Amino acid sequence: MSFNSIAFFLFLPVVVLVYWILPRRGQNVFLLAASYFFLCYIHLWFGALIFMVTAVNYGCSIAMIRWPHKKKALLILCLVLCFGELAYFKYASFFLENIISLFTTFGIPFSRPVLNIMLPVGISFYTFQAIAYTIDVYRGDTKPCYDILDFSLFISFFPQLVAGPIERSRDLLPQIRNTRHITPELFQQGLILLLWGVLKKLVIADNCGLIAFKVFSLTDPGFYLLWSGVFAFGIQILADFWSYTDMARGSALLLGFKLSRNFDHPYFAKSPADFWRRWHMTLSYWLRDYVYIPLGGSRAQSSFRRGANIIITFLLSGLWHGASWNFILWGGYHGLLVLLDRLCRKTVTAFRGFLPAQLRFPFLILQICGTFLLINIGWLLFRETDIQTLLNYLQLSPNASTVTDNQVATYLFSLTLLYGLPIFLHGILYFLDKKKRGPREQYAKNVLLLRPLLAAFLLLGILTLRSPEASTFIYFQF
């Protein structure tokens, strides 16, 4: 079931109404049933996969406590089963195609078996969440959850089930165990987040998605026309994924749960490393804690090993996003950016320190614009899956563009900027608010009074500016 479907907006009010008339234990039972219904709405067998992941991680975590001398073997078993399932559904076709290509290169005939594998929605997200829990139990960072009902709900909680955020057990499990409460303020927050998410999806992401689709459908776009399409895709993917997170957090608040923030205005980042502290934050922290640090992180003795740890982590991040070489290139590209950022950080900081006070803000703006440009180059690698076409795009010359192409590119860039304006304005207001916020009581009172007006404004924007063509969430394919 998709958040931007009519079915969801019929499903959510019913769940919220029934949920709040039940006691805590009944709420958990009902939420678990609702979550499995949410996942199995299109395909029933999706529920069997998440049940398997739940059973494996629950059984292994309990067995680690009962037989501590075997906990390493149990962890390996859990990782093999969970990553094996993920690898089959997500990467089997990719690896098979590359093996066939390798055999063909050497002139070895190879009969390709037919694989019709459908990628189950959310499998990457709930698998990573489950594995993080089991690793934490193995390390002793968290105690195992013996209640199978609570643990099952932790893995399958429907607001964040399909596209995150990837929650840690220390944050979500206590909320599942304890009694939840709803207040008018929490309800308003949830409703605003839900509406803001819908607007980001239907108005910003889907409209920018149409622009990007038209540009990338052209057989031979000019230089400026291509990059106007890349810019449109950059706004689309931010609005699309951020909208899902907002709708997940808003839906969870209506049920008394607080989920993690997944975005912190990433296009205001002042460096590539800062971007990854703001973009898809729960995945970034997952990769840091369960890949980068176990590899040795920044504690590695040699600079080569420290750099290799960064590159490996980002290559895995790229592969997580999709079974295609362009995603691996995208991950490697960002790994190199972060590595160069670390190498230049002291120099940039020292240079900024020498600048006069009146030039430091313009220098910050220059850093933000430069980072935004580098991120958009990466989005071209992310968007175009065909490597040959990607190479052709990268070889385009600005001088080869026609006047007509340039005029169309200017129009599409301006239109994308207009659709993306709410995101940029929201970012500016957010940072101004952080710096100039007055007394907490007065601030809360002002926000409480403005929320009904904001809700009406968002609803009006959704009804009047929504895209004529709705699309599925981009991160559903990951």
Q: Write out the catalytic residue numbers.
A: 321
CA–CA distance, 106 with 122 (Å, rounded to integer): 38
Which burial class, exposed, middle or buried, applies to 37 when counting CB atoms under 10 A from its CB (0-12, 13-18, 19+)?
middle
Amino acid at 454: L
3-state secondary structure the chain: CCCCCHHHHHHHHHHHHHHCCCCHHHHHHHHHHHHHHHHCCCCCHHHHHHHHHHHHHHHHHHHHHHCHHHHHHHHHHHHHHHHHHHHHHHHHHHHHHHHHHHHHHCCCCCCCCCCCCCCCCCHHHHHHHHHHHHHHHHHCCCCCCCCHHHHHHHHHCHHHCCCCCCCCHHHHHHHHHCCCCCCHHHHHHHHHHHHHHHHHHHHHHHHHHHHHHHHHCCCCCCHHHHHHHHHHHHHHHHHHHHHHHHHHHHHHHHCCCCCCCCCCCHHHCCCHHHHHCCCCHHHHHHHHHHHHHHHCHHHCCCHHHHHHHHHHHHHHHHHHHCCCHHHHHHHHHHHHHHHHHHHHHHHHHHHHHHCCHHHHHHHHHHHHHHHHHHHHHHHHHHHCCCHHHHHHHHCCCHHHCCHHHHHHHHHHHHHHHHHHHHHHHHHHHHHHHHHHCCCHHHHHHHHHHHHHHHHHHHHHHHHHHCCCCCCCCHHHHC
The CA-based diameter of the chain, rounded to the nearest angstrom, is: 75
Tokens of 465: 């500016």
Q: Is the peptide bond before 439 cis (omega within 30 degrees of 0)?
A: no
Tokens of 1: 């079931």
CA–CA distance, 209 with 215 (Å, rounded to integer): 10
